Amino acid sequence: MTDRQPGFSTLAIHAGAQPDPTTGARATPIYQTTSFVFNDADHAASLFGLQAFGNIYTRIGNPTNAVLEERVAALEGGTAALAVASGHAAQVVALQMLLKPGDEFIAARKLYGGSINQFSHAFKSFGWNVVWADTDDIASFERAVTPHTKAIFIESIANPGGTVTDIEAIAAVARKAGVPLIVDNTLASPYLIRPIDHGADIVLHSLTKFLGGHGNSIGGIIVDAGTFDWSKDGKYPILSEPRPEYHGIRLQETFGNFAFAIACRVLALRDLGPALSPFNAFMILTGIETLPLRMQKHCDNAKAIAEWLAVHPAVAAVNYAGLAGDKYNNLARKYCPKGAGAVFTISLKGGYDAGVKLVSKLQLFSHLANVGDTRSLVIHPASTTHSQLDDAQKTKSGAGPDVVRLSIGIEDKEDLIADLEQALA
């Protein structure tokens, strides 16, 4: 190609991929192997010493996974990425590089219920402490900063409510505090929002959702923006200080603007081991090729269905940032003008019982715990994904007892509306 920067759809198909040099295969092969042969003893030593790039063992890296990593990094505008076994694994790996026992990170209250549970409970065993803040009150993030704060964590479009976060405002807080901003971009995908363009230092995804898009493979990814100075102030010694297991290498000094991605790979993934299967990487790569087509259809369907539900007599409220009167519509127009995503919630006049009834009566919508599928999905968060939370936490996270979450697929919208109509009747 010329010096022209490829467009998003072109990157979604071609970034990171070349025909296989041995066979000429055009699709990225599945390198279903545990390990790789070294050229000689010196080659092996240089790989293990981080003096050369190459393949050692699929737990640490694999050629199929490498294409996926390069592709998502290109779509997000990052310098490098690391694919792991799930979105939850991505959160553990990323935060392990930043936090020591006794450290804190600030997280938005409006998050996926599994993340709230992970942060509140599982992370306690590591000695990591979460401090909650409200994305509707940016000053709450400033008030939460202490000398122990090592990161700020938000979602670009929050799950389950589909609310849009003011990334730039929170990025300013993170810069002032001297800590990285981590953005979970799962619900938006880089087609709708690229958080790095708005000040994010690290971007995470559950690849299981819109990037893979077909409900067949679980995966997660960490994208390094290359924007944070890890050696400043000595807050992040894992990246700035000599690493004894690599003969004194300083990762920031050696790898520069992709040091964080390298650290996640050669320290956390190496030792914790949540590796992504090459087969799942292949499936997710195939899904990404149609990401722009799918996301636009998702958004167009979601807006039409949200507008229909907004005037339905059984519905008390529709929480969708794509609606003109929605509280987050201005943020949606700023951050995601192509569409406000495909996941939103409705509040039913019949409360908890009405929510449980609705999910049981829908026929075309699948009642399951996932979002971002080609198929339309539905769940009652208060009795499932957010059931570990108390009533106050459920309400604060947008998962009150009367709330039903919809993930709108790419079927014909008329069929989806007809299914909702019969279930609500």
Of 113 and 248, the one with more pLDDT: 248
Query: In this model, does residue 340 exceed pLDDT 60?
Result: yes
pLDDT, residue 274, reads 98
Of 2 and 174, the one with more pLDDT: 174
Q: Tell me, yes or no, whether 2 lies in a domain.
A: no
The single residue listed with the structure tokens 């229909």 is: 308
Query: In this model, does residue 334 exceed pLDDT 60?
Result: yes
Among candidate residues 287, 309, 342, the one where a domain is terminated: 287
Please tell me whether residues 139 and 238 are part of one structural domain.
yes
Q: Tell me, yes or no, whether 10 lies in a domain.
A: no
* pLDDT per position as a tens digit, 384-397: 877 777 778 777 76
Of 259 and 4, the one with more pLDDT: 259
The rounded mean pLDDT for the chain is 95
Residue 416 lies in domain = 291-424
Of 359 and 388, the one with more pLDDT: 359
Tell which residue, 214, 162, 191, 202, has the closest CA to residue 332.
162
Q: Determine the residue type at 66.
A: A
- What share of residues in the chain are helix, strand, coil (percent, to 5)? 40, 15, 45
Please tell me whether residues 225 and 300 are part of one structural domain.
no
Q: Tell me, yes or no, whether 362 lies in a domain.
A: yes
Segment 352-378 shows an average pLDDT of 94
Please tell me whether residues 36 and 125 are part of one structural domain.
yes
Please tell me whether residues 103 and 207 are part of one structural domain.
yes
Q: By the 8 A CB rule, do 106 and 43 touch? A: no
Q: By the 8 A CB rule, do 134 and 379 touch? A: no
Segment 392-411 shows an average pLDDT of 86
The single residue listed with the structure tokens 């700035």 is: 240
**Residues belonging to the chain:** 425
Distances from the Cα of 183 to the Cαs of 90, 201, 202, 318, in angstroms? 12, 8, 6, 25
Distances from the Cα of 345 to the Cαs of 261, 317, 398, 404, 415, in angstroms? 34, 9, 8, 5, 19
Distances from the Cα of 273 to the Cαs of 51, 79, 111, in angstroms? 22, 23, 25
Q: Tell me, yes or no, whether 23 lies in a domain.
A: no
Chain-centroid distance, C-alpha 73 = 13
The H helix count followed by the E strand count for the chain is 18, 12
pLDDT, residue 381, reads 86
pLDDT, residue 384, reads 80
Please tell me whether residues 283 and 295 are part of one structural domain.
no
> Pairing state of beta strands 220-224 and 80-84?
antiparallel
Query: In this model, does residue 1 exceed pLDDT 60?
Result: no
> Pairing state of beta strands 80-84 and 343-348?
unpaired
Return the sign of the alpha-carbon dihedral for residues 404, 410, 415, 417.
Answer: positive
Could you give the CA distance from residue 274 to residue 298 in angstroms, rounded to a whole number? 30
Tell which residue, 423, 424, 420, has the closest CA to residue 409.
420
Please tell me whether residues 67 and 191 are part of one structural domain.
yes
Instruction: Work out the number of other CB atoms within 10 angstroms of the CB of residue 271.
Output: 10
Among candidate residues 252, 267, 287, the one where a domain is terminated: 287
* pLDDT per position as a tens digit, 182-212: 999 999 999 999 999 999 999 999 999 999 9
Q: Tell me, yes or no, whether 7 lies in a domain.
A: no
Q: Is 59 exposed, middle or buried (0-12, 13-18, 19+ CB in 10 A)?
A: middle
Query: In this model, does residue 40 exceed pLDDT 90?
Result: yes
Please tell me whether residues 186 and 331 are part of one structural domain.
no
Segment 63-74 shows an average pLDDT of 98
Q: Tell me, yes or no, whether 181 lies in a domain.
A: yes
Query: In this model, does residue 329 exceed pLDDT 70?
Result: yes
Please tell me whether residues 274 and 295 are part of one structural domain.
no
Adjacent-strand bridge partners of 80: 224
Tell which residue, 287, 300, 283, 288, has the closest CA to residue 411.
300
Q: Report residue 154: phi and psi, to 5°.
A: -140, 170
Q: Determine the residue type at 146.
A: T
**What is the pLDDT confidence band of residue 382, given thresholds at 50, 70 and 90?**
confident
Among candidate residues 242, 264, 287, the one where a domain is terminated: 287
Could you give the CA distance from residue 210 to residue 373 in angstroms, rounded to a whole number? 7
H or E element that contains 69: helix 63-76
Tell which residue, 171, 170, 168, 165, has the closest CA to residue 188.
165
Residues 6 or more apart whose CB falls under 8 angstroms from that of 224 comprise: 73, 78, 79, 80, 81, 202, 257, 258, 259, 260, 261, 264
Please tell me whether residues 100 and 185 are part of one structural domain.
yes
pLDDT, residue 341, reads 97
Q: Tell me, yes or no, whether 14 lies in a domain.
A: no
Q: Tell me, yes or no, whether 268 lies in a domain.
A: yes
Instruction: Work out the number of other CB atoms within 10 angstroms of the CB of residue 282.
Output: 21
pLDDT, residue 2, reads 62
Please tell me whether residues 347 and 238 are part of one structural domain.
no
Please tell me whether residues 353 and 394 are part of one structural domain.
yes
Task: Retrieve residue 38's tokens.
Answer: 């070294």
Please tell me whether residues 295 and 282 are part of one structural domain.
no
Q: How many domains does the chain have?
A: 2
CATH classification of the domain holding 141: 3.40.640.10
Share of the chain above pLDDT 90, in %: 89
CATH classification of the domain holding 360: 3.90.1150.10
